Amino acid sequence: MARPPIFRLFPLLSGLWRVVGMLALLATGSSAAIDSVPAPADGIYDDTRALSEVGHRDLAGELRSLRDDLKANIWFTATSFTASGVTLRQQARMTRRRWSGESPALLIAYDRASNAVALSFSPDFWNRYPTPGLVELLRGAGRTIADTKLTLEERLTLIVQETGKRLRQLETVSIQQNMWFQNEEKRPVLLLAGGLLAAACLAAVAGMAARHWSGSSSSQAFFPEVVVGTRLGAPFGGGLIVEMDGDPVGRAG
């Protein structure tokens, strides 16, 4: 007796559930693995085998150089899966905090299951560099990982190199902005300081001169003393004080 058609689907559904269960187990296992891995000495954790031995060594050298230039921890992770309910960005942030604590750090994370990449910056990076510059790094990494013309190893290596190049540029700008003035600006600044000093000296001299003339104009002047005789017993009633020479007013010539 032939089975009804619906019973023929049971083996297929059973096999499908086994595959789903295996994928979920792998995802949980991968997340648990990175959560328990200590900070790698060379800065790289790769359970996907996306990097060859030579590529791993070259990438470690780039991370070491970038670490010295930025005075920060630089990490790279490549995992097969992320845990259910956890985004790649969240996983990258948790791993960065566990490996670096509150120290300045950047973690570049790649998830092979979704072919996605995320960058997790410590607060120090957001304070040190402009926000648009860091956001552009995230966008650039997304564009690079989507470029299927390159192999996976080439894409991952290029992401690290481009991120490092741009961060070095941002670091240079940050140092220049924090300086009091640049070497090429020394001469204009010195000339300006000299001009201000000369103007201050001229103002001081002008002030002293103004005070001098002001004191001179406020001084008093007196007529010389004149000895006048006494007339009819009245004091100051005799003697010649003023003599005028000329025709009396109103007299005809």
Tallying the residues shown for the chain, one arrives at 253
The pLDDT value recorded for residue 27 is 45
Tokens standing for residue 214: 């002001």
Q: What amino acid occupies position 45?
A: Y
Q: Is the pLDDT of residue 116 over 90?
A: yes
Comparing CA positions, the residue from 120, 26, 155, 141 lying closest to residue 82 is 26
Q: What is the pTM of this model?
A: 0.61
Q: Is the pLDDT of residue 11 over 70?
A: no
Tokens standing for residue 186: 């020394």
- 158 and 144 Cβ atoms separated by less than 8 Å: yes
Residue 99: band (very low, low, confident or very high) from pLDDT cuts 50, 70, 90: very high
Q: How far, CA to CA in Å, does 117 sit from each of 34, 137, 139, 146, 217?
A: 16, 11, 10, 10, 85
When the pLDDT of each residue in the chain is averaged and rounded to a whole number, the result is 79
Q: Is the pLDDT of residue 173 over 60?
A: yes
Domains and CATH numbers, the chain: 42-178 (3.10.310.50)
Q: What's the rounded Cα separation, in Å, for the pair 99 and 34?
A: 11
The pLDDT value recorded for residue 28 is 46
* pLDDT: which is higher, 11 or 169: 169
Residue 4: band (very low, low, confident or very high) from pLDDT cuts 50, 70, 90: low
- 160 and 59 Cβ atoms separated by less than 8 Å: yes
Q: Is the pLDDT of residue 144 over 50?
A: yes
Residue 29: band (very low, low, confident or very high) from pLDDT cuts 50, 70, 90: very low
Q: How far, CA to CA in Å, does 92 sit from each of 45, 87, 111, 182?
A: 12, 9, 10, 38
Q: What's the rounded Cα separation, in Å, for the pair 66 and 171?
A: 11
Q: Is the pLDDT of residue 59 over 50?
A: yes
Residue 94: band (very low, low, confident or very high) from pLDDT cuts 50, 70, 90: very high
